[in-house]
Amino acid sequence: MFTILSLCVALAAPQQVPLPPSHDLTLTPGATLQGVATMPGPSATYCDDFNRPDEFPMGAPWNMIVGTQNLVSNHGMAPAGQGNAWMQHGTATEAASTAKVSIQFMPNTAVTLKYVAAVTGVGGFNNFFTKIQSQGGADYDYIGFYVGFNGGGSGGYGGFFAITPVQWGRMDVWYDAATDQMVMDIDEFDDGSIDYTYYSGAGASAAADLNATGLGIGTYGDQEYDDWSINDGCGGGGGGLSLTATGTCPGSVTLDVSGATAFGQVAVLYGAAGSFTQTGSPCTGTTVPISNPSLGVMLLADGGGSASLTFTAPSGACGLTVVAVDVSTCTVSNDVVL
């Protein structure tokens, strides 16, 4: 335990929250896509961090096309028992050729079949539907480079592939013009570091419309997701909050936080690596990459969103994972290991 970290603070001890079960494990294709007329220049940025009051169903700026989505505890969540569904953003427009779509996919504690998909190229002759899927275990273990509405590959493009299983994290979906492929980067635990990269196979330009600009999110089952962004509109990996550690454990260690809310509180959590979802705190619903986190200390950021802490780390702290949480936005930083 950190020798100086004994403050009593407002964040209650986190507890794991099971997701409601899914009852329908049948994949069903078919839907009509709706296009977006506006064609902006490339490299527009958009963000929805879902940090607003609960909505049942989710409203603007999202338009429900098939099925429904809810906004629960500052993240999106498809209702239990729902099959294939998707929604389109009502104002975000970016060509599929220049759109980097980032989505955080949440832990599958209900161990039900589910997926979340980045939908791009909506409004053209076909769209891209790129998903990460759990087959019903605790991990996400497949990805699909699809077109249409969960419609499978097209000709020689794409398909459904087994991957190295991941617990949760962020997927980035983008088009590689040099190889004419769609790409999925996976950052397990959303700590700002890409762990796996997968390619669709050539032929993306023939499979769907790279010039079409509609954007959306697809789901199956009671999928939870967060921090949907286009071209890093939410700040990129780790949500824009950064944590660094310098020094040697055991011994003097300095933690530096940047990218926090100006003059806002930052919670420093530590524990063994894993996954946990907060309840009973200002950041209920926020997931951190620690199995049973303890609250070390609350820091106050300065006007530039930075904070720092120097402490003496005992040998028992070495090997523990540490993250920072911006209490104002519930953004989680990358993790560091002491």
Higher pLDDT, 240 or 204: 204
Q: What is the pLDDT of residues 34-81, one digit of tens each?
A: 433 333 344 578 889 898 899 999 999 999 999 999 999 889 999 999
Rounded mean pLDDT, 181-207 = 91
Q: Which residue has the higher pLDDT, 273 or 30?
A: 273
pLDDT, position 223: 96
Q: Are 297 and 5 in contact (CB under 8 A)?
A: yes
Chain center to CA of 165: 16
Does the pLDDT at position 24 exceed 50? no
Judged by average pLDDT, the poorest of 9-13, 81-85, 216-220, 266-270 is 9-13
Distance CA 36, CA 123 (A): 6
CB 215 within 8 A of CB 122: yes
What is the per-residue pLDDT for 43? Answer: 56
Per-residue pLDDT band for 304 (boundaries 50, 70, 90) equals low
What is the Cα–Cα distance from 121 to 233, expressed in whole angstroms? 18
Average pLDDT, the chain: 83
| Residues sharing a CB contact under 8 Å with residue 235, sequence separation 6 or more, in sequence order | 47, 229, 241, 259, 331
How much is the pLDDT for 30?
33
Mean pLDDT comparison of 134-148, 190-204, 255-269, highest-scoring range: 134-148
Q: Give the span between the Cα atoms of 228 and 47, in whole angstroms.
A: 6
Q: Which two tokens stand for residue 80?
A: 């239990």
Q: What is the pLDDT of residue 242?
A: 79
Name the CA radius of gyration of the chain, rounded: 20
pLDDT of residue 42: 47
Beta bridge partners of 118: 130, 217
Q: Which amino acid is at 289?
A: P
Domains of the chain in start order, with CATH, are 46-235 (2.60.120.560), 241-337 (2.60.40)
Q: Burial-class residue 92 by CB neighbours within 10 Å (0-12, 13-18, 19+).
A: buried
Specify the higher pLDDT residue, 261 or 160. 160
By DSSP bridging, strand 128-135 and strand 113-122 are antiparallel
| Per-residue model confidence (pLDDT) at position 259 | 76
Residue 165 φ/ψ, nearest 5 degrees? -60, 140
CB 230 within 8 A of CB 215: yes
Q: Which of 288, 299, 296 shows the shortest CA–CA distance to 338?
A: 296
Q: How many CB atoms lie within 10 A of CB 31?
A: 17
Task: Give the full edge-to-edge strand order of the sheet including 62-66.
Answer: 62-66, 85-89, 214-220, 113-122, 128-135, 140-147, 159-166
- The pLDDT score that the predictor gives to residue 331 is 83
Q: Round to whole Å and give the CA distance between 133 and 169.
A: 12
